[in-house]
Amino acid sequence: MKTIKSIALALLLVMGTALYANNNPAAEKVKKEQVTQEIAQLLKSPRFELNETTTAQVLFVVNKDNEIVVTSVDTENWEVEDYIKYRLNYKKLDIILERGKEYKLPVTITSET
């Protein structure tokens, strides 16, 4: 009888762990799209002109107040780097993200010409 209880308990633990680890990938995708759109709104309408399309890799974390904290911007153009940091640093997100996790966001700013 003791063995049956032990096996049942182990089975319940395994099932509970499996259910806990089973997150909804469709919901995560929607959440990422919403965050991307929100950040795109924050970076909309730069007040400087570019001669060519510029890309950047932005690394950021989210603090306890659900604000973006930019840790680095990898780009060749210092104006784009300053612009991204100015527009994103300590801006509050509507979508709640995991605190302390580092996120990578590719950003492309197109030229008007």
Q: Which residues pair with 69 in a beta bridge?
A: 61
**pTM of model > 0.95:** no
What helix, strand, coil percent values describe the chain, rounded to 5? 45, 20, 35
DSSP state of 22: -
Tens of pLDDT, residue by residue over 23-76, are 567 777 778 888 889 998 998 888 878 888 888 999 999 999 999 999 999 999
pLDDT at position 17 over 60: no
* Predicted local distance difference test score (pLDDT) of residue 109: 84
3-state secondary structure of 27: helix
Q: In this structure, are residues 54 and 77 in contact, taking their beta carbons and an 8 Å threshold?
A: yes
The closest of 100, 77, 83, 6 to 42, measured between CA atoms, is 83
Tens of pLDDT, residue by residue over 69-94, are 999 999 999 999 999 999 999 999 99
pLDDT at position 95 over 70: yes
Q: In this structure, are residues 81 and 56 in contact, taking their beta carbons and an 8 Å threshold?
A: yes
**Model confidence at 13, in pLDDT bands (50, 70, 90)?**
low
